[in-house]
């Protein structure tokens, strides 16, 4: 696998740092050797010449200066190298394919997660609507069942009422026809139908004329005087009042009227 440029640069810097550390250690060893030699030989500095003493002092200063220079340069180098290495590593880390792949996967995950949450919200809404629709359907179904039962009962009742009304209408028609035919057979009587279940009866007696309204209601007839040629005060009270008479007695209605007039 081919190494990248940042990796090669880091390796070179580490090699250079290693060489600096080697040089520094070697210098320290030399200094330590001189100090050891001086210590073991127990040099009598009072017996040395002035030139020798100055030379030793100067050598010591040079050694310390060189040591400080190397230490300072080495420290600055390591600080700079460390910063550069860290920066290079960060840059290299960002450029690694695995990191790019991780970023892409994270983006895809975020998109997929957002899409999944959107779908989940839609599913929850649909499930809520389904539940509400089911509840409404069950309610309507129950109401429809009750309504059907009510309509069936109402239909049966109407059927019974219809049969009963048809029988009653047939009987009333037959009764009305019999009454009309009966009145028509009498002289001086005029019968006219004024509406459903209403008949107008005109009776002429001598020189006078009386008009009555005959009204069907259930099993009876109502009749009332609606006009006459006789003075009102001379009309019998029986003829002034509404009179209710059973239908079975209707054929004798005219006879009662005639008897009152007599």
Q: Which residues pair with 210 in a beta bridge?
A: 203, 228
CA nearest to 203, candidates 259, 136, 139? 259
Tell me what pLDDT residue 16 has.
63
Tell me what pLDDT residue 146 has.
84
> What are 137-146's pLDDT values in tens digits?
888 888 888 8
**pLDDT at residue 222 is higher than 80:** no
The more confident residue out of 144 and 98 is 144
Please name the residue that has the structure tokens 């007599």: 262
> What are 165-220's pLDDT values in tens digits?
778 777 766 666 655 554 554 445 677 778 777 778 787 766 777 787 877 777 77
**pLDDT at residue 102 is higher than 50:** yes
Dist CA 61 CA 83 (whole Å): 32
Do residues 81 and 13 touch, judged by C-beta distance below 8 A?
Answer: yes
Tell me what pLDDT residue 185 has.
47
Q: How many residues does the chain have?
A: 262
Tell me what pLDDT residue 78 has.
59
Dist CA 76 CA 30 (whole Å): 23
The more confident residue out of 195 and 9 is 195
Q: What is the mean pLDDT of residues 6-19?
A: 64
Do residues 201 and 212 touch, judged by C-beta distance below 8 A?
Answer: yes
**pLDDT at residue 84 is higher than 70:** no
- By CB atoms closer than 10 A (0-12, 13-18, 19+), residue 157 is exposed
Percent of the chain with pLDDT over 90: 0
Q: What is the mean pLDDT of residues 16-37?
A: 64
For the ranges 63-67, 152-156, 232-236, the maximum mean pLDDT occurs at 152-156
Binning pLDDT at 50, 70 and 90, where does residue 74 land?
A: low
Neighbours of 190 (CB within 10 A): 13
- The pLDDT mean for the chain works out to 68
Percent of the chain with pLDDT over 70: 43
**pLDDT at residue 35 is higher than 80:** no
CA nearest to 256, candidates 193, 192, 180, 203? 203
Please name the residue that has the structure tokens 């006219």: 192
Here the tokens at position 170 are 């047939």
Q: Tell me the three state secondary structure of residue 115.
A: helix
Tell me what pLDDT residue 257 has.
55
Pairs from 11-20 (Cβ < 8 Å, separation ≥ 24): 13/81, 13/84, 13/85, 16/77, 16/81, 17/77, 17/78, 17/81, 20/70, 20/73, 20/74, 20/77
CA nearest to 203, candidates 187, 181, 182, 221? 187
The more confident residue out of 100 and 114 is 114
Tell me what pLDDT residue 88 has.
62
Tell me what pLDDT residue 246 has.
60
């Amino acid at each position: 696998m081919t190494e990248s440029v940042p990796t090669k640069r880091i390796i070179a810097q580490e090699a250079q740092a290693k060489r600096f550390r080697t040089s520094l250690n070697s210098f320290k060893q030399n200094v330590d050797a001189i100090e050891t030699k001086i210590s073991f030989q127990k040099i009598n500095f009072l017996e040395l010449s002035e030139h020798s003493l100055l030379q030793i002092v100067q050598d010591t200063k040079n050694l310390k200066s060189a040591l400080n220079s190397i230490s300072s340069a080495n420290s600055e180098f390591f600080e700079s190298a460390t910063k550069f290495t860290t920066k290079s590593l960060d840059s290299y880390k960002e450029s690694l394919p695995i990191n790019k792949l991780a970023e892409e996967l994270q983006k895809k995950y975020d998109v997929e997660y957002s899409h999944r949450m959107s779908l989940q919200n839609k599913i929850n809404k649909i499930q809520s609507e389904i539940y509400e629709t089911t509840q409404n359907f069950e309610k309507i179904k129950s109401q429809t069942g009750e309504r059907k039962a009510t309509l069936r009962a109402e239909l049966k009742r109407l059927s019974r009422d219809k049969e009963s009304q048809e029988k009653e209408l047939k009987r009333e028609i037959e009764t009305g026809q019999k009454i009309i035919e009966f009145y028509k057979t009498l002289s001086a009587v005029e019968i006219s139908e004024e509406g459903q279940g209403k008949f107008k009866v005109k009776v002429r007696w001598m020189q006078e004329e009386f008009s009555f309204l005959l009204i069907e209601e259930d099993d009876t007839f109502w009749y009332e005087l609606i006009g006459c040629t006789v003075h009102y005060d001379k009309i019998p009270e029986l003829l002034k009042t509404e009179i209710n008479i059973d239908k079975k007695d209707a054929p004798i209605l005219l006879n009662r009227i005639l008897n009152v007039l007599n």
